[in-house]
Structure 1
């Protein structure tokens, strides 16, 4: 494969669409998104020069979050919009102009298939994977608004137990920037769970420079929003995914009447 080639048609009939939706008829005020749900790579890009072991690691996707997201959508009666392709192809939670949008290195791993990428090839990834995903989120928010349905954006992610040799103590983190309505309520209820170490904008914080989904679809539209990060060793199997979906469903079921009582939704 010529990495610098003009890849104008990235996805063909053998590739699945980038967008995965679950429980699309859900009427919950919570709209779930999952930017790093999948780890697929378009057939035209091969394996990006990586081994299968590398492509199953956290550098390629958010391990465990797909199962949590689908179970949570079912329990809440919420619509989930997710992205099937690996963030190594293009990161759907990074502004396209950001350095990490199409990474040359992830943690300590070089990504050969992203080296020397022609501008047209990078644009193909944006136009055929990034843009359709975010256009769909925008369409759904528009449709909900027209139907008189409130929208509270919840962006679901997972994080590694250890990063750059440093252990991360948090079980779950709430990520936010400008919204002061949803995150404090979520933090309070999470901290009431006696067995949890809860991160307040840990292990990451939302910013306009490093994030896309919350700034664009949440903050720019004035929607209540939060990011959620769950530690990957806690959701590495089906039992863990179910346990965390159950817990979050219970907590969001407590939050919804709070928001309604205060006429925030």
Structure 2
């Protein structure tokens, strides 16, 4: 395990790669965010449930997972290189420890951001995944926007390359009772930095997924959604192959 990331599962070329930027709430020694430690259990610090789903999936044939190993408040890997990598505020909560000068930002980039993306680029180049599942989760309600409704169980995000998203939306539309968001609760045209860099730039098929956190906050929900993600990935690959 590297300080910036963790790689688990089967990296045989042609497999399915799960990529989860915000899988951990870890704050390394030497970094003080200046926040109530309880916030590290909240959505501002971690994509709740995605690490557990990833660990279930890598026990199944053909899955590997590349997981962020520090809190998104320490380093948000799903951003372009710059100040947003260390957010000064998140969902209304100030993050005093991220009031960094130029040297402070450079340290975060050098210690976490660049090693993460360098390792991911090398993994993609050697594994040549048939599909990347970019796995995120979202809070049912933002504290900064309490009146905003977030009814979706799952959202599919993408930027310019809609191939995987279109197939995923087709698969999910067949599930009775499932509320699916197309570019919801966020748009991949604005928040897709990791997939822009490691999938779209290389023409690699991918699915950008956001799962609502109250559905995957316990072991039963995580197991259910791991099954759903496996089915989704295999169906998308099958349909993509049929299209030639």
Displacement after TM superposition at 1:151 (Å) = 3.0
SS of the residue corresponding to residue 31 of structure 1 reads: strand
Give the structure 1 partner of residue 108 of structure 2.
Answer: 125
Larger of the two Rg values belongs to structure:
1
Q: Which moved more, 1:250-259 or 1:239-248?
A: 250-259
CA distance in 2, matches of 1:27, 1:246: 23
Which of 52, 55, 65 is residue 67 of structure 1 equivalent to?
52
SS of the residue corresponding to residue 227 of structure 1 reads: strand
- Alignment of structure 1 residues 33-48 onto 2, 5 Å: 33-46=19-32, 48=33
CA distance in 2, matches of 1:210, 1:238: 28
Give the structure 1 partner of residue 149 of structure 2.
Answer: 167
SS of the residue corresponding to residue 197 of structure 2 reads: helix
- Alignment of structure 1 residues 242-253 onto 2, 5 Å: 242-253=223-234
Displacement after TM superposition at 1:200 (Å) = 0.4
| 1:73/1:26 CA distance change after superposition, 3 Å | farther
SS of the residue corresponding to residue 167 of structure 1 reads: coil
Give the structure 2 partner of residue 215 of structure 1.
Answer: 196
CA distance in 1, matches of 2:105, 2:60: 38
Give the structure 2 partner of residue 10 of structure 1.
Answer: none
| 1:243/1:185 CA distance change after superposition, 3 Å | same
Give the structure 1 partner of residue 170 of structure 2.
Answer: 188
CA distance in 1, matches of 2:191, 2:230: 28
* Alignment of 1:154 onto 2:133: yes
- Alignment of structure 1 residues 20-169 onto 2, 5 Å: 20-26=6-12, 29-46=15-32, 48-97=33-82, 99-115=83-99, 117-145=100-128, 150-163=129-142, 164-165=145-146, 166-169=148-151
- Alignment of structure 1 residues 224-263 onto 2, 5 Å: 224-263=205-244
What TM-score do the two structures reach when normalised by structure 2? 0.92
Displacement after TM superposition at 1:74 (Å) = 2.6
RMSD: 1.8
Displacement after TM superposition at 1:28 (Å) = 5.2
What TM-score do the two structures reach when normalised by structure 1? 0.85
CA distance in 2, matches of 1:223, 1:256: 12
SS of the residue corresponding to residue 43 of structure 1 reads: coil
SS of the residue corresponding to residue 59 of structure 2 reads: helix
Paired residues in the alignment total 241
Which digits, 9 at most, give the CA deviation of each residue in 1:163-188, with x for residues without a partner?
21123000000101111321111001
CA distance in 1, matches of 2:181, 2:37: 32
